[in-house]
Amino acid sequence: MTTPLLQVNELVKKFPVKKGWFRHSGYVHAVNGVSFDLQEGETLGIVGESGCGKSTTGRSLLRLIEPTSGEVIFQNVDITKISKNDMHKFRKDIQMVFQNPMDSMNPKLTIREIISEPLIAHKVPKVERNQLINDTIKLVGLSENHLFLHPEKLSGGQLQRVGIARAIILRPKIVVADEPVSALDVSVQSQILNLLNKLQEELGLSYIFISHDLAVVEHISHRVGVMYLGEMVELATKDKLFEKPYHPYTQALMSSIPKTDPDEEKERIILKGELPSPSNPPTGCKFHPRCVHAMEVCKSVNPTFKDVEGRKVACHLY
Ligand code: SF4
């Protein structure tokens, strides 16, 4: 195994919950001790239901949200411990693509001005800027004519291409993509996924790809981590995970994917109850109130995330 490009150790993000003006009434445990690594040129999918902490994990890696504790090691530096100034330098190498690119675009600016923003923020000399802008707009499948338009003139798919152009214009090593295709039509989704694959090959990018959609994650990922209520419960290569999921929660998620082969035997596993509140999570294994295999030990002891037959699983069954 080569040295990972990024190593995340025991990442925690708690949000304080306030009652009234000053009273503090506990914490929402959005991310609770998540660990994984990312290899060079790899796409690591992170999947789970809404509210499982996957987006908070992604944003904490770039310190768009400050993590409460844990380590994010990049180029031998724990970037959770460095100053905001030093973090600015690392942002050149770790960029983000958002679900709704419009949310982070000033509608009064042209596409050229929007994708120039990172070049200006990182003081790239003017002579290099033009070349990078012209190269990058073509790399994402748009033309130089698009540079003079405002965002309102572009379709959803074209806007996401602009979002990707802005993320790659500094030629980062890692892109964290948070639900980058979930707001798009299915036909446009596959175009954007193919574009991400092409850019990975051409620029040697590594992706952390966050999505609630298992089919999308299966299409693009090399390995997949499954999150439940702020914790990673299973991490495996895509092939192993989709062929035989080990964790009961992963099994339930997989059973919800529609059958593509009518002869395929697949029984849908219906989860009991609702996703518990992250401000008041269950004791022991957080999945135990909904798990069909729950045992007595599951109610009091949270299983460790351990190696099982070439994958990692957090479950007392293994
Ligand atoms: Fe189910 Fe127990 Fe495994 Fe949790 S630890 S997933 S409750 S069997």
Per-residue pLDDT of the chain (318 residues; tens, 9 = 90+): 578 999 999 999 999 887 666 666 788 889 999 999 999 999 999 999 888 999 999 999 999 999 999 999 999 999 999 998 899 989 999 999 998 888 888 999 999 999 999 999 999 999 899 999 999 999 999 999 999 999 999 999 999 999 999 999 999 999 999 999 988 998 899 999 999 999 999 999 999 999 999 999 999 999 999 999 999 999 999 999 999 999 999 999 998 776 666 666 667 777 877 888 888 889 999 999 999 999 999 999 999 999 999 999 999 999
Cβ neighbours, 10 Å, residue 80? 20
* Cα separation, 54 vs 80, whole angstroms: 18
What are the b/e assignments for 85-121, b being 16+ CB within 10 Å?
Answer: eeeeebbebbbbbbbbbbeebeeeebbbbbbbebbee
Ligand 1 pocket member 151 (CB < 6 A): no
Instruction: Using the mean position of ligand 1's atoms as its centre, give its distance from the Cα of residue 315 in Å.
Output: 5
For residue 303, give the ligand 1 atom closest to its CA.
Answer: 5
- What pLDDT does 234 receive? 98
Measured in angstroms, how far is the CA atom of residue 292 from the centroid of ligand 1? Answer: 8
pLDDT at 5: 96
Cα–Cα nearest to 57, from 43, 41, 36: 36
Are 206 and 41 in contact, with CB atoms under 8 Å apart?
yes
Cα Rg of the chain, angstroms? 21
Start-to-end CA span in the chain (Å) = 24
**287 Cβ closer than 6 Å to some ligand 1 atom:** yes
- Fold designation for 6-80+222-313: Rossmann fold (3.40.50)
Q: Is the CB of 285 under 6 A from ligand 1?
A: yes
The pLDDT assigned to 265 comes to 65
Q: Is the CB of 294 under 6 A from ligand 1?
A: yes
pLDDT for position 101: 83
Domain parsing of the chain, residue ranges: 6-80+222-313
Check residue 211 and give left, alpha or beta (phi > 0: left; psi -120 to 50: alpha): beta
Residues 6+ away with beta carbon under 8 Å from 178: 55, 58, 59, 96, 97, 98, 99, 210
Whether 317 is in the pocket of ligand 1, judged by its Cβ within 6 Å, is: yes
> What pairs with residue 295 in β-bridges?
none
Tokens of 289: 């109130």
Atom of ligand 1 nearest to the CA of 316: 5
Q: How far is CA 314 from CA 93, 225, 233, 317, in A?
A: 31, 12, 5, 9
Pick from 117, 98, 101: nearest CA to 109? 117
The residue assigned the tokens 């993000």 is: 13
Measure 294 CA to ligand 1 centroid, in angstroms. Answer: 5
Residue 33 and residue 13 in contact, taking contact as beta carbons nearer than 8 Å: no
Give yes or no for a contact between 168 and 205, defined as CB atoms under 8 angstroms apart.
yes
Q: 83 CA to middle of ligand 1, Å?
A: 40
Strands 306-308 and 311-313 come out as antiparallel
Using alpha carbons, list the distances in angstroms from residue 86 to 67, 81, 83, 90. Answer: 16, 10, 5, 7
Q: Quick one: tokens of 265?
A: 């035997």
The 3-state DSSP class for residue 165 equals: helix
Cα distance between residue 19 and residue 157, in whole Å: 41
